[in-house]
Amino acid sequence: MTIGARIAQYRKQAGLSQEALAEQLGVSRQSVSKWESGGVMPDLDKVLAMSALFGVSTDALLKETPEEETPETSAEAPLAEESVDEAAQEAAEDYLEEDADFTAQEPEPPEASPVPPLQAQTPAPGKGKRIRRVIAAVLAAALVIAAIAVPVYFGGVREAWWALNGGKVQYPYVLVSGMGGWGDGVGINAKLPYWGAGTGSLAEYLTQEGYTVTEATVGPFSSAWDRACELYAQLTGTTVDYGAAHAKTHNHARFGRTYTEARVPQWGERINGGQRVKINLVGHSFGGATVRLLAALLAHGDAAEQQTTGKETSPLFTGGKADWVCSVTALCAPHNGSSLTCILDEAGGLLTLGSATELLASVVYAVGGLAAPVDETYDFMLDQFGITGPVSLQEAYDIVTSSGNDNVAYDLSPDGAAALNARIGTAKGIYYFSYAYTTTRKGALLGGQVPLTGTLPVLMPTALAMGTYTGTTPGGIVIDESWQENDGLVSVVSAQYPTGDPHADLPEDGSALETGVWYVAPTRSGDHGTVIGLQAAAEPTHQFYDTLFEMIDGLKR
């Protein structure tokens, strides 16, 4: 039987197709087909991998036998068919017994007639064969010991395989800012980093700790959808495609900026023995909605975009890429919106201003147009709406209202967040974590929640307003007392997990975690900016991310 036939036989005995075996070995199906047909011999590392996978020795794979014989009936069956230790012992015993018999039968040479030197160096008949058998048994035993010891040393068969093929792939971390935030592509980041703030650049610290970290730059006031599309283009080094269906619905351009360099090279590819290059997404505030939506689009795609553009659909909307993401972590994220938008709209109604959130968005867009010529300092990134220069407040308002709520203000409202949650959901294969902060306590006199003295001064009024507010949204969502505890911008109940998604408390004992489930950490003390280093000390800030990243790096792959 040929080597190729043996590979095919053991593959079928293991219940594997050619595609499945190729996936396990990190090669193409065509390579497996060529091995089995005898056209190409597999490399040594692939032989070792198949030996471990099939549970047979390398001899069983490489030793050819006549076509009419099989490994079970051949007179010289592979050593892997029996216990290697027993084979080695029997071979050694055979050698000792046969050698003893040979010695007993050999007459003692006369002392006066020594054996000529040439005759004394000639091997005895059959002795070379016996030696080869012993050596083969010892080598087979060594291979078995190595097959057991190497995986144990590296922590498993997969880990050993990775070590032989370049090592375990480290998944990069992608940090995504919230509303009004920025990444390392904006000039202001050099003077005041968003991630780290007063504690210094968090990305630089984490890089020194051995992690691969990138700070993405997405539209600070754009919708979660637009931001997710921009994030995908930056990570892959492509042109932003907002989707033909989305662009038509929301009255803006389909394509945006072009990024010539990928922030995560080889993202989604298989390297180092077949390992997929995945990413860990970390979003603060509205960045939480951004990374959740990106992960959902990668996993599930979007039917409307597929129906509109067919074969020209962006890979972002085709789905089937849940295994491109290892984890999603949301920090102070308004999963269910912020009651602050309700407070602003009610105040706008009293002043007959209409929707205060839309008005504020219009002001932001108008300012963004004025700032466009100097966007190297702060980039509003509103190109999709044609805002690349000055626009009046009325023009900005028309853009906001005609976009069909395609802006951050709507997505931050409880009604907008509910609509977003309805299209996102979790995905199997991805781990989810959320962290909520609180900067309020129960009020002694007025009831509700009042801000603590350590709260950022700018967040004192909003923390107090949210801590005493109750009401009902236009969409019928009841904002009751459970929403009052907050971090100054986001209610604790909203930051814990998206309504309707599977969730559980983050275990403290390090027990195994499941994918597709939100793990909610115990609520931490601090306001909305504490987790990114605003008015916070460097040591606890660094310790938080050290602990978080260590946990994520230790997740089961």
Task: Look at residue 453 in the predicted model and tell me its pLDDT.
Answer: 93
Main-chain phi, psi angles of 283, to 5 degrees: -120, 135
Task: Look at residue 513 in the predicted model and tell me its pLDDT.
Answer: 93
Q: What confidence category does residue 109 fall into, taking pLDDT thresholds of 50, 70 and 90?
A: very low
CA distance 363 to 405: 15
Task: Look at residue 67 in the predicted model and tell me its pLDDT.
Answer: 47
Q: Which of 12-16, 55-59, 264-268, 346-350 shows the lowest mean pLDDT across its residues? A: 346-350
Domains in the chain (CATH in brackets) are: 1-81 (1.10.260.40), 173-340+407-553 (3.40.50.1820), 341-402 (no CATH)
Residue 198 has pLDDT above 70, yes or no: yes
Q: Which residue has the higher pLDDT, 112 or 319?
A: 319
Q: Record the tokens describing residue 137, joined without a space.
A: 């048994």
Q: Which residue has the higher pLDDT, 517 or 6?
A: 517
Active site residue 487: yes
Residues 6+ apart with CB under 8 A from 177: 183, 194, 195, 215, 216, 218, 220, 284, 285, 287
Q: Which residue has the higher pLDDT, 343 or 370?
A: 343
151 by Cβ neighbours in 10 Å (0-12 / 13-18 / 19+) ranks as middle
Task: Give the dihedral sign, CA 375/380/382/386.
Answer: negative
CA distance 142 to 144: 5
Q: Which residue has the higher pLDDT, 296 or 86?
A: 296
Residues 6+ apart with CB under 8 A from 291: 174, 176, 228, 231, 281, 282, 283, 328, 329, 330
CA distance 178 to 496: 16
List the catalytic residue out of 246, 250, 284, 528.
528
Q: Which of 128-132, 249-253, 328-332, 548-552 shows the lowest mean pLDDT across its residues? A: 128-132
DSSP assignment string, 216-249: ----TTS-HHHHHHHHHHHHHTSEEE--HHHHHH
Mean pLDDT score, 192-219:
95
Are the beta carbons of 447 and 484 closer than 8 angstroms? no
Task: Look at residue 517 in the predicted model and tell me its pLDDT.
Answer: 97
CA distance 251 to 219: 17
Mean pLDDT score, 17-28:
85
Q: Record the tokens describing residue 249, joined without a space.
A: 């619905």
Residue 551 has pLDDT above 80, yes or no: yes
Main-chain phi, psi angles of 284, to 5 degrees: -105, 135
Q: pLDDT over 70 for what percent of the chain?
A: 84
Task: Look at residue 149 in the predicted model and tell me its pLDDT.
Answer: 61
Of the segments 65-69, 72-76, 414-418, which one has the largest average pLDDT value? 414-418
List the catalytic residue out of 177, 201, 223, 285.
285
Mean pLDDT score, 229-253:
97
Residue 501 has pLDDT above 60, yes or no: yes
Q: Which of 56-65, 90-99, 248-257, 362-371 shows the lowest mean pLDDT across its residues? A: 90-99
Q: Most distant CA pair in the chain: distance in Å?
A: 130
Residue 438 burial (CB count, 10 A): 20
Q: Record the tokens describing residue 311, joined without a space.
A: 């074969």
Q: Which stretches of 316-436 are assigned E, i.e. beta strand?
A: 325-331, 431-435
Mean pLDDT score, 29-46:
82
Task: Look at residue 545 in the predicted model and tell me its pLDDT.
Answer: 97
CA distance 524 to 541: 12
Q: Which residue has the higher pLDDT, 13 or 502?
A: 502
Q: Which residue has the higher pLDDT, 62 or 479?
A: 479
Task: Look at residue 5 in the predicted model and tell me its pLDDT.
Answer: 87
CA distance 67 to 479: 78
Residue 130 has pLDDT above 50, yes or no: yes
Cα 402 to the center of its chain, rounded Å: 36
DSSP assignment string, 137-197: HHHHHHHHHHHHHHHHHHTSHHHHHHHHTT-PPPPPEEEE--TT---TTSTHHHHS-TTTG
Find the length of the chain: 557
Rg (CA), the chain: 33
Q: What confidence category does residue 123 fall into, taking pLDDT thresholds of 50, 70 and 90?
A: low
Task: Look at residue 74 in the predicted model and tell me its pLDDT.
Answer: 40
Active site residue 284: no
Active site residue 525: no
List the catalytic residue out of 59, 345, 487, 527.
487
How far CA 44 is from CA of 129, 338, 370, 387, 549, in Å, comes to 26, 59, 64, 59, 36
Main-chain phi, psi angles of 449, to 5 degrees: -125, 140
Mean pLDDT score, 520-538:
96
Taking the chain, what is the end-to-end CA distance rounded to the nearest angstrom?
38
Mean pLDDT score, 479-495:
97
